[in-house]
Structure 1
Amino acid sequence: MRILNHFISRRGWLGLFSALGTGALAGCSASGALNALVPSDSYTLRASVSYGTDGRQQLDLYLPLGRRQPGPVVVFFYGGSWTTGERASYRFVGEALASRGIAVAVADYRLSPEVRYPVFLQDSAQALRWTFEHLAELGADPRQVFVMGHSAGAYNAAMLALDARWLAGAGLKPEQLAGWIGLAGPYDFLPIGNRDVQVAFEWPGTPADSQPLVHVSKNSPPALLLAARSDTTVNPVRNSEAMASCLKGAGVPVELQVYDGVSHVTLVAALAKPLRGLAPVLDDIERFIQRPRG
């Protein structure tokens, strides 16, 4: 592992992720190679925990070592246009947050074309419900529960935080969240041009209230929005910047960080130890989560 890390430069990693494109973190060789360089001495792993009866309704838990009192927990949802992805590809996310004393649940959810909107939101809500029901064994504080996601997963996180329908179906309320974190999230993407996403949302019959932006209210949880300025997959102005503006207009605490030097994919890859120099993504997430709240 040390030999591999020595001979792969940061530029080499950037080239690998760029060549693989937006699918780079959906279970392909890039995330596998990146995970091979992730330390394993910062967490205890509990893998393949079921939160439902379907085979896709499972999560992996990354529990930080050495935590002496209840602390924060994050439920993380990955991207992949709601058509691809698997939790094992995101060990680097679990390790990153666990290394900062934050427990993490990386959740699978059912994907299109086997299911359509809103099933992946219902699964996400059930994963969050499981987390709330097991806070004690996770060493987590019920006042410090966050949802977080990248790309399509950021959409899932946003909808749980902003549209009360989905958490209501799991016996929860958005007010129970300490906050939500979106990395390169699509929050306003109608009309739909991507064929895979058209199928996932049954375009052109996609309801207008499927868009997170329309659900912002003064009761929305605090948010941290992270985006790549050069993102060509999810427009940061239309999505992250517009979401920040809507939240601010409603009086909701929100922080927006738009980074140079990263792309749609390397924004989340920057959480991994070999790429943390690309942008202070992990530092900004930790600061948001650990911030004192009344």
Structure 2
Amino acid sequence: MWTLAILIGFALLAGLALWIALQRNAPAVLDTIDSVAGPASGVEKVHQASTGNHEEQRLIVYRAKDSDAPLPVFIFFHGGAWAHGSPVDYGFIARNVAPDGYVVVLGGYRMNEPGRYPAMLEDTAAVVGWTHRNIANFGGDPERIFLSGHSAGAYNVAQVALEPRWLAKEQVPSSAIRGVVGLAGPYDFYPFDTDRSRAAFGSVGAGAESQPVNHARADAPPMLLVHGEDDTVVRIRNSRALEKALGEAGARVETLYLPGKTHNDPLLALTNPWRRDPLVFDRVSAFMAAQVSVPVQAGSP
């Protein structure tokens, strides 16, 4: 009897410790779980670089040890309401995506006061620019780049891909961006009516031009929007609005709406052991594979 009580006590303490860790830094916990639960991936960190003077302006490059070059590139930006997060905690993205034949870049950007709009977009574009100029040195193909992000990171990549000035500033040709994968992203949230959006956008005079839905265009990169239907952090109406805007503009857009899923579920689906339900991961993989073989068209910065 005492043995059972002790085991239950340890289980409760372990559960409490896990809950506390998730509250403090959920991606870091997911990264640890993925590294333990997932198969050996052979993925290694091959480079780190700064894209500015702030410590959050950084990127990390991963690739599989036995991969052949040149490989298409998958650039991922973390979420965190433009207030917290770090690419250091998202190694699970690289471990799961790189074995499919990609060089993976985890990008960082300034947050909180230093990262107020449009700084987070300047930093996102800087990561893409660095990648386009340098990724060939690490086995990547600079003309086959995919952008992805979760939550705030999904906003960053959608806006940078749709509003031409960001990539033009970095001299990245539009043809180099083969596709965008947005996970639970906010794309249509003006006027700013939450503490998070006001903190990141409200005091800098940003208006409707800050919204991805207002930059939909026929020649936009193909987009895959993944969203949980029960997401209460970023409502699914954001993805539906961007889908509608892109479709009306004549752009290529795909969606994967997940019944009963919430804000973090699209991200969890890219990690082990949750990846055992292959719906999201397989759809993302298929979307990118379809664009990899598309011939590069002439594009202007």
Q: Give the fraction of aligned pairs with identical amino acids, expressed as a percent.
A: 35
Retained in 1: the 8 A contact 2:109–2:115? no
CA separation in 1, counterparts of 2:70 and 2:268? 28
TM-score for the superposition, normalised by structure 1: 0.86
Deviation at 1:40, TM superposition (A): 5.2
Matched, 1:281 2:280: yes
- Match of 2:58? 58
Q: How does 1:37-52 map to 2 (within 5 A)?
A: 37-39=37-39, 41-52=41-52
- Match of 2:259? 260
CA separation in 1, counterparts of 2:60 and 2:39? 16
CA separation in 1, counterparts of 2:43 and 2:71? 14
Q: Which has the higher helix share?
A: 2
Q: Secondary structure at the match of 1:273?
A: coil
Deviations 1:152-182 (A, max 9, x none): 0000000111001111221224343111110
- Match of 1:196? 196
Alpha carbons of 1:273 and 1:34: their partners in 2 closer, same or farther (altered >3 Å)?
closer
Query: Whose radius of gyration is greater, 1 or 2?
Result: 2
Retained in 1: the 8 A contact 2:82–2:115? no
Deviation at 1:244, TM superposition (A): 1.4
Deviations 1:160-207 (A, max 9, x none): 110011112212243431111100110001222321321111258331
Alpha carbons of 1:184 and 1:18: their partners in 2 closer, same or farther (altered >3 Å)?
farther
Retained in 1: the 8 A contact 2:73–2:141? yes
Q: Secondary structure at the match of 1:73?
A: strand
Retained in 2: the 8 A contact 1:144–1:177? yes
CA separation in 1, counterparts of 2:42 and 2:148? 20
CA separation in 1, counterparts of 2:23 and 2:277? 17
Retained in 2: the 8 A contact 1:261–1:278? no
Deviation at 1:36, TM superposition (A): 4.7
- Match of 2:213? 213
The aligned amino acid for 1:290 is A
Deviation at 1:120, TM superposition (A): 0.8
CA separation in 2, counterparts of 1:206 and 1:274? 40
Retained in 1: the 8 A contact 2:79–2:85? yes
CA separation in 2, counterparts of 1:194 and 1:22? 22
CA-based RMSD of the aligned residues comes to 2.5
Deviation at 1:85, TM superposition (A): 0.3
Retained in 2: the 8 A contact 1:122–1:169? no
- Match of 1:5? none
Runs of 4+ residues over 6 Å off in structure 1: 16-19
Deviations 1:73-96 (A, max 9, x none): 011111001010011111111111
Q: Secondary structure at the match of 2:202?
A: coil
- Match of 1:269? 268
CA separation in 1, counterparts of 2:261 and 2:251? 27
Retained in 1: the 8 A contact 2:191–2:207? no
Matched, 1:229 2:229: yes
Deviations 1:200-232 (A, max 9, x none): 112583311000000011111111111111111
- Match of 1:7? none
What is the aligned residue count? 278
CA separation in 2, counterparts of 1:220 and 1:283? 23
Retained in 2: the 8 A contact 1:213–1:246? yes
Matched, 1:142 2:142: yes
CA separation in 2, counterparts of 1:78 and 1:134? 21
CA separation in 2, counterparts of 1:30 and 1:132? 29
Alpha carbons of 1:38 and 1:192: their partners in 2 closer, same or farther (altered >3 Å)?
farther
CA separation in 2, counterparts of 1:126 and 1:57? 9
Matched, 1:251 2:253: no
Q: Secondary structure at the match of 2:63?
A: strand
CA separation in 2, counterparts of 1:35 and 1:226? 24
CA separation in 1, counterparts of 2:252 and 2:240? 14
Instruction: Judge which range, 92-101 or 270-279, deviates more.
Output: 270-279
CA separation in 1, counterparts of 2:22 and 2:283? 26
Instruction: Judge which range, 198-207 or 81-90, deviates more.
Output: 198-207
Matched, 1:111 2:111: yes
Q: How does 1:5-44 map to 2 (within 5 A)?
A: 20=22, 24-25=26-27, 27=28, 29-39=29-39, 41-44=41-44
